[in-house]
Chains A and B, each alone.
Chain A
């Protein structure tokens, strides 16, 4: 009786499962955007990125008449709170969901019932990489920029590594602790990852992706020799670039190829910039940095903003093929390598890396290679090149933070909308986004960022 009772009640529902095989965990790790059949989900997928840091740069502006909601406007004006006390902070929630999902997978992989050690270790490494990526974004959004002299006491974000849901201490770890954790996680995972993944699997982390992320982590700490060796490891594995000479303009726009065919994507993370209310509307300052024969002018299109403002150039080259990749991309890696070389006084290599990228961005027949011999001028040119190439990424906010911290670049942001004006001074504590009041109310051990 007992046996037949067990048989009768022990049925496996269709469409739902209790993960226990490597195949099951593979499915959970391959969750890109997280849209389940019946709308029931707690996760957003591993490949979504944040939005608001786009608005805390000198690349992107909000112009009178553009539709913006209260959250976007608050970020644009560096307000003391970006969300109401009952509102979720989208970026915070998004990354901690990804972290929880990774934690759940890492916990479950301890009791997986099949698979070779290599397979299990690869899945583990992928989960760790996604988690490291999320923490790296969080610490740079919600913390002041890494400063070797104070990182041990600067407020980072809570390191949440378990799956328990009750009585969890959410005290913020220091910036140093978060950077150390991210570094350790990446370095200990690289071995188990495949060298590269084909473009139609670029949502999965690879060795190239891990070295690419590692190089950014070192770069943000101004450890340029380590960053150089990491970025070279990445580029040795994958170095594809799209030659925009080969891409025909449609309606005056040279579009990025579809994501699954884009060889520039090393690790796909999806920028949400197209999904929300605003367009990436370029500032005059950024527009002035483009030469006339730069093909990247054709990444833009004119859009009528309002009666008062008229037409302005917006970024449009991702729209047709829905390519808003903002994870680890080869152009970024070339520019990191150029920057490291320039900072380490390897002038020739820095120029070479710049030209390697730029020849794909200018008409081939008329291309004049960059040859700058002054290290400071070269570094400055590379910083501008990062703005020209990477304005469709929100990383500009992090770049300004690190230039101010390490190079005394003295970049002050001044934003104005609807008569309200706000400035953000270099190295101001206000560069760290405020923590959502909701989370502090729920767990008062989370300390709010100081403001000036």
Chain B
């Protein structure tokens, strides 16, 4: 007897005749006011970050050092989810001679995080429950919940069902309540991170210097999760594996012993980086010619090892003892509709729990710039990155990328000493790069597994199928830019840049016909041009001794067009699923022109020839689709304002994105799709469920279809409803991202404290969003992003 959706329960009671239709209607009405999304506030709190920073620096003629200590505490949205971190950083520079300098730095970070229940952000918690669920009743008592999360061995029981199980001799109550789970949650991550850096600078000659550097970083992390006997995971799994007496049905033995569970994971990552670089910097003839160049070589290796230790059962937190269980026998499940048998769940199906991943990288690079008379500059660069791309053929790696450019300092030629123009540069560049498809190779790649099947044999699966026709994606780019600085001291400054990129043999993951054996594959799908403008303007509006106001605007415009597509342009599924079409933006959303309901409440659409159809007589074709806009903003930018009065500074960051759209899909909860409800009855119905067509005549009042029968669910007319253009909305929005208020204590206050500086800052993130869509949601996060507050204190000695 599982805990039911309260509305379903009322309807079942009515069907069984336990309550009258009137009573049922009034109970349903009472439920209408419930909304689990509000209930979730019991589990959440504002996010608060605190940051304290202490720094010491000093030095002498031949050496300098700095040390800092950083302490952070984060209290995250879900109660019980928090973290603390200590960072110690110390570094120094030693000048051994005019020619040789050594730099070093050591950084140590220790972190501890309490992972909240279900790992969770508020959105996860909401999605786990029916919208009609409650966490506590009107008297504040915790009540049984549905706990829809699929992780449990058993569906949470109702109070009656749980009491029955207890009376039958089962050891634990079987109800579920999220607050109980939060109380009993004990999931801790601890990690230690060490980073060592050393570098040697050597002046070979006046113009030529060499730098050798080395970095080693290691991170060790350990996750320990203790499930005590009050957690639902333990209660349900132990119950499920109880062995019952055949005649009485009472538990006589427990394949999983009573007691808690202990899960431990450890992980270690290491990386090594070495770099050798030569720098050349020379001017000739009193600065008429100047040449700078550098060339370097970098080698890097990263290793990630992890170990998922098998679960300890019957774990006692006081004695640290566990009880071994039989992981190789299938046990009949005590509470199972199908009367099935299962193995006790095992955390490391490959038998060892070990994973090892290593990556290696080599890079060679060189840049050079030549300037004539401080006015004309030519630049060139080349870079070659090589890695252990597993399974890659040689033609697939070793892709050198290069660029060449020129820059003209107009100040020198036209505005020298004008007094108004401080700087004016015109620049242009051209470059080419190549992109490799990571994760897809010309060769067949297998994955070895210890199969959890009846034979328990070793076997392998295909990790990626052979893809011998794959070509490199190549991109060439062209940039033209102008930067300027007017009046004194950067009073008005900024830049304008135009770019145009052309990509050929675009790589994309494409849906393919399952008849081929797989249903998606990375392929070269076409060509694309992408062009746009970026502009920055910064103005120091007020600049007095006490008061200063600076405002900076960033503005970008971007548009792309698919110039060639190798994908079947008539493949409707591909287009509805985000496929590309020649002549359109790569991120175009294709929709159906929705025509409302027929007199039986089924959806209808406007076809290409402007007739109204429900696609029962003929299938949907590509011509019937309409362009509903793109999912990527064409215009975007930011506006930063900084006011300072004496030692007090206020900084705001506002961003905007415009000219793009989003599609509200059934999972978002913003729309009601009757077909989804039939196919996945456990999902929460979205907005508009109450407006659905119910009786003839409703088609004049609503555009939401009726609930289809099980057969109709497969018909195009119902299937296509989520793709109706009614569900497209403008994603344009303005966001006040950040407000920072900071205060630097003046020196006279610090005189007797020994401190060099003391700063206090208060930062607020996700402050406000203005949207322009009819769903009235933040188009980038359908569930409101929580306001985050941070306190920062930093000092130096």
Contact residues of A with B, CB < 8 Å?
A: 5, 8-11, 13-19, 24, 27-28, 30-38, 40-43, 45, 69-70, 73-74, 77, 79, 81-89, 92-93, 96-97, 99-101, 103-104, 107-108, 158, 160, 163-166, 168, 170, 200-201, 203, 251, 258-260, 270, 274, 279, 301, 316, 319-323, 437-439, 441-444, 446
Contact = CB atoms under 8 A, between A and B. Distances in A.
A28 B711 contact: no
B62 interface: no
Contacts, number: 241
Nearest to A102: B517
A378 to B, nearest CB: 37
Contact of B461 (A36, A96, A200): A36
B454 A260 contact: yes
B340 interface: yes
B463 A28 contact: no
Contacts of A259: 454-455
29 contacts: A8-B299, A17-B448, A19-B444, A27-B448, A28-B461, A32-B451, A34-B461, A35-B449, A41-B461, A42-B462, A42-B465, A70-B713, A73-B711, A74-B710, A77-B711, A86-B573, A87-B714, A89-B514, A96-B514, A100-B517, A100-B518, A160-B515, A163-B465, A165-B512, A258-B454, A274-B340, A319-B341, A322-B330, A442-B511
Given A15-B448, A17-B446, A41-B447, A30 B459 contact: yes
B570 to A, nearest CB: 8
Nearest to B454: A259
B719 A84 contact: yes
B515 A36 contact: no
Given A27-B446, A258-B454, A441 B516 contact: no
A43 B462 contact: yes
Contacts of B697: none
From B338, B387, B459, name the one whose CB has the most chain A CB atoms within 10 angstroms.
B459
Given A37-B349, A170-B513, 5 more contacts: A15-B447, A37-B447, A42-B465, A86-B573, A93-B514
A92 B349 contact: no
Contacts of A35: 349, 449, 451-453, 461
A408 B433 CA distance: 69
B716 interface: yes
Contacts of A444: 570
Contacts of A16: 390, 445-448, 463
B136 interface: no
A36 B339 contact: no
B637 to A, nearest CB: 37
Contact of B444 (A18, A164, A301): A18
Contacts of A19: 444, 446, 460
Contacts of A165: 465, 467, 469, 512, 516, 518, 521, 523
A301 B512 CA distance: 44
Interface of B: 246, 299, 330, 332, 338-341, 349-350, 355-358, 360, 362, 386-388, 390-391, 443-449, 451-455, 457-467, 469, 511-519, 521, 523, 568, 570-574, 619, 675, 678-679, 710-711, 713-716, 719
Contacts of A10: 388
A440 to B, nearest CB: 9
Contacts of B355: 14-15, 37
A101 B462 contact: yes
A77 B675 CA distance: 19
B447 A443 contact: no
Nearest to B464: A42
A200 B448 contact: no
Q: Which 8 pairs between the two chains have the least Cβ-Cβ distance?
A: A100-B517, A27-B460, A442-B513, A30-B459, A84-B714, A31-B459, A70-B710, A37-B350
Contact of A31 (B299, B461, B716): B461
From B349, B451, B467, name the one whose CB has the most chain A CB atoms within 10 angstroms.
B451
A15 to B, nearest CB: 6
B713 to A, nearest CB: 5
B469 A103 contact: no
Contacts of B448: 15-17, 27
A104 B465 contact: yes
Contacts of B570: 444
A85 B357 contact: no
A11 B361 CA distance: 11
B510 to A, nearest CB: 9
A107 B679 CA distance: 40
Contacts of B356: 14-15
Contacts of B713: 70, 84
A85 B714 contact: yes
Given A27-B446, A442-B571, A166 B469 contact: yes
B517 A96 contact: yes
Nearest to B716: A85
A5 B386 contact: yes
Contacts of A97: 514, 517-518
Nearest to A259: B454
Given A104-B466, A107-B466, A24 B449 contact: no
A441 B459 contact: no
A170 B515 contact: yes
Nearest to B336: A319
A165 B519 CA distance: 10
Contacts of B466: 104, 107, 163
B511 to A, nearest CB: 8
A74 B708 CA distance: 14
B573 A5 contact: no
Contacts of B679: 69-70
A377 B449 CA distance: 52
A32 B572 CA distance: 35
B360 A8 contact: yes
A123 to B, nearest CB: 13
B451 A33 contact: yes
Contacts of B464: 42
From A35, A41, A107, name the one whose CB has the most chain B CB atoms within 10 angstroms.
A35
From B341, B448, B678, name the one whose CB has the most chain A CB atoms within 10 angstroms.
B448
B446 A28 contact: yes
A322 B333 CA distance: 13
Contacts of A160: 515-517
Contacts of B523: 165-166
B465 A24 contact: no
A441 B618 CA distance: 12
A274 B460 contact: no
A331 B48 CA distance: 70
Contact of A446 (B460, B515, B571): B515
Contacts of A32: 451, 453-455, 457, 459
B710 A104 contact: no
A437 B572 CA distance: 11
Contact of A319 (B338, B362, B469, B710): B338
A164 B512 CA distance: 12
B360 A11 contact: yes
A33 B455 CA distance: 10
Contacts of A5: 362, 386
Contact of A279 (B338, B461, B715): B338
A430 B5 CA distance: 40
B332 A9 contact: no
A41 B451 CA distance: 13
Contacts of A274: 338, 340
Contacts of A86: 573, 719
B517 A99 contact: yes
Contacts of A438: 514, 573
Contact of B515 (A74, A319, A439): A439
A9 B459 contact: no
A234 to B, nearest CB: 22
Contacts of B517: 42, 96-97, 99-101, 103-104, 160
Contacts of B518: 42, 97, 100, 165
Contacts of B386: 5, 9
Nearest to B511: A442
From A19, A165, A259, name the one whose CB has the most chain B CB atoms within 10 angstroms.
A165
